[in-house]
Chains A and B, each alone.
Chain A
Amino acid sequence: MADLILAPNLENTDDFYAELLAAHEGLSEAAMHALNARLVLILANHIGDQGVLRQALEAARAAAR
């Protein structure tokens, strides 16, 4: 089974982060949630590996405060 990558993996982290914020620009809170939900589904389909996705779900839950 493939492992979820949890070490830095983006070529330019700051660029991605800025684009992520820009995508939310001008949206209402509900529209932001909706955007993120669509984004999750698009990325999940791209990853396509249920084992990796499960690890990602666990990691996301574990990091909650």
Chain B
Amino acid sequence: MVAVRYQTAFRLYPYAKVPDQEATAPRRHPVVIVGGGPIGMGLALDLGKRGIACLVLDDHDGVGKGSRAICFAKRTLEICDRLGCADPMVEKGVVWNLGRVYRDEKEIYSFNLLPEEGHKRPAFINLQQPYFEQFIVEEIRRQQAAGAPIEIRGQNCVTAMVQMGDHVRLDVDTPDGPYQIEADYLVACDGANSPVRAMMGLDFEGRVFEDNFLIADIRMEADFPVERRFWFDPPFNRGETALLHKQPDDVWRLDFQLGWNIDRKAELDPDRIRGRVAAMIGADIPFELVWTSIYTFRCCTMKDYRHGRVFFAGDSAHQVSPFGARGANGGMQDIDNLGWKLAAVITGQAPDALLDTYHAERKHGAMENIKNSSRSADFLTPRNPAHALFRDAVLDLVEHFPFARPMVNSGRLSVPCTYDAGPLNGPDALPEGPARSRPGSPCSDAPCGDSFLLDHLRGDFTVLTINTGCPAALTIAGKEIPVIAVSTEDDPSGPLAARYLGTCPAAVYLIRPDQHVVARWDRLDLAEIESALHRALGKA
């Protein structure tokens, strides 16, 4: 029996019996992914496109209903572009750039997320998480049709696991009863309450924030502007905060801070929620409640994201407050990092040590996300009189003086992390090169001919040359490395040069499969590239 823990919005992978369930001995799979949320499905798509056979086990048969992530960041869209599923997301999603912050009834300042030109994707889109997951699964279906070795098994609940040295053995429950399988590698993408983590008796430590937030997703046809609006101490929610944000399908996300000591049941009463909503949007605007829930949050992380042949990615490894939209966005960077490494080790191109760097790099990313989202929470939820004193001082000052604007923290929205001093980084031999493209950084997009630079970074190690002659491909240590040779003329508008050259006349970059910079030089030197590649594969 498999318990139903939540309602599904879309049934995408109904249960079907498979031969593994009848096998006399457990069948072995190269990679088993536990959990088919956005992170597990994203990893499956990445691995499948690389030709690595993977099996996703999810205890439901589709995407969970209800309000979770709505803000997806540019970096996530760039990752999804590489995976082939960003177009429908951006088509369906609501693009927004402008955020307004109010105190009481007065606007105290506004911000524009991406004043910078020359990116294919917007800074953020708003899209209900079920759609995000659906579009990934639809791309998986297309890739499967084209032969990608991905399998999804719905209503397959992992109930026990044990590490056996050179593999992991899993007990899986289904509507037809239990069976066992084996995995060379197991990736736990089973969410914040990760059963795999619990089965292994592993820690998940951090801070619980003493606050409750009420989410009301409502449908209304209002011509409110497509902006993120955030209130401190509004008349309709005195002493607390509130947020209003647009989603597709005429759905709006309303978020009310409630404080710590609340009567949960009373707060969830639909009539009471309707009253709150009307007070916020105006009594004359008709609306319908689509989904409501109350959430509390914590900022937690596991100590290690790798345990032998078991890896943790997404919420199972780390959980952050929703302020800043760093949950799913951070998780997508996990799988961006893990996918190519697993593929390189499984195909024998890299040693096992490469997999240790998944933990090193992504723990660094998660700690950055936790730091930022904890700071936002401290601002929004002052925990002692000093927090409140300075928060109010900032809000007093911001109405008068621009210097206080950056101090207002209503969520520092997700940006990808740079793996500074990362174990795979090579030399920075481009004196005066732009800091944003230093080794370890995610490549910034830029216009490039009639497309964009990131469109050319398709998931392999790639050499990017700017203003220097180069053959179309390089053979390095017996392996063919694609080359993208561009010049400043490919982008007369300037961002390409500004982001990759600075004041340098020419540059050569070695870029990882996840579009992070390995190393850079002022000229092409094959021996240098070979040694950086060697290091980036975990061989140094």
Contact = CB atoms under 8 A, between A and B. Distances in A.
B394 interface: yes
Nearest to B391: A37
B394 A41 contact: yes
Interface in A7-65: 33-34, 37-38, 40-42, 45
Contacts of B407: 41
A38 B393 CA distance: 5
B404 A37 contact: no
B111 interface: no
Contact of B389 (A34, A42, A45): A34
B403 A34 contact: no
Nearest to A46: B403
A37 B389 contact: yes
B233 interface: no
Interface string B403-428: 11001000000000000000000000
Contacts of B390: 37, 40-41
B397 interface: yes
B117 interface: no
Number of contact residues on A: which range applies? under 10
Nearest to A39: B393
Contacts of B211: none
Contacts of A37: 389-390, 392-393
A49 to B, nearest CB: 14
Given A33-B389, A38-B396, 15 more contacts: A34-B389, A34-B393, A34-B396, A37-B392, A38-B393, A38-B397, A40-B390, A41-B390, A41-B393, A41-B394, A41-B397, A41-B407, A42-B397, A42-B401, A45-B404
Interface of A: 33-34, 37-38, 40-42, 45
Contacts of B401: 42
Contact of B392 (A34, A40, A42): A34
Interface string B501-525: 0000000000000000000000000
Contacts of A41: 390, 393-394, 397, 404, 407
Taking chain A's interface residues, is the majority helix, strand, or loop, or is none over half, making it mixed?
A: helix
Contacts of B404: 41, 45
6 contacts: A40-B390, A40-B393, A41-B390, A41-B394, A42-B403, A45-B404
A45 B401 CA distance: 11
A49 B393 CA distance: 20
Interface of B: 389-390, 392-394, 396-397, 401, 403-404, 407
Nearest to A37: B393
Contacts of A34: 389, 392-393, 396
A38 B392 CA distance: 9
A21 B165 CA distance: 72
A18 to B, nearest CB: 24
A38 B389 CA distance: 9
Contacts of B397: 38, 41-42
A45 B389 CA distance: 17
A37 B393 CA distance: 6
A45 B403 contact: yes
- Listed residue (A34, A38, A42, A45) with the most chain B CB atoms within 10 angstroms of its CB: A38
A38 B401 CA distance: 11
Contacts of A42: 397, 401, 403
Contacts of B403: 42, 45
A37 to B, nearest CB: 4
A65 B11 CA distance: 66
Nearest to A38: B393
B435 to A, nearest CB: 18
- Listed residue (A34, A37, A42) with the most chain B CB atoms within 10 angstroms of its CB: A37
B506 to A, nearest CB: 36
5 shortest interchain CB distances as A-B pairs: A37-B393, A45-B403, A38-B393, A37-B389, A37-B390
A33 B403 CA distance: 20
Nearest to B406: A45
A34 B386 CA distance: 10
Nearest to B393: A37
Nearest to B407: A41
Nearest to B389: A37
A41 B395 CA distance: 11
A42 B401 CA distance: 9
- Listed residue (A33, A40, A41) with the most chain B CB atoms within 10 angstroms of its CB: A41
A40 B394 CA distance: 10
A41 B404 CA distance: 8
- Listed residue (B393, B394, B397, B404) with the most chain A CB atoms within 10 angstroms of its CB: B393
Contacts of B389: 33-34, 37
Nearest to B403: A45
A40 to B, nearest CB: 8
A24 to B, nearest CB: 15
A20 B393 CA distance: 18
A41 B400 CA distance: 13
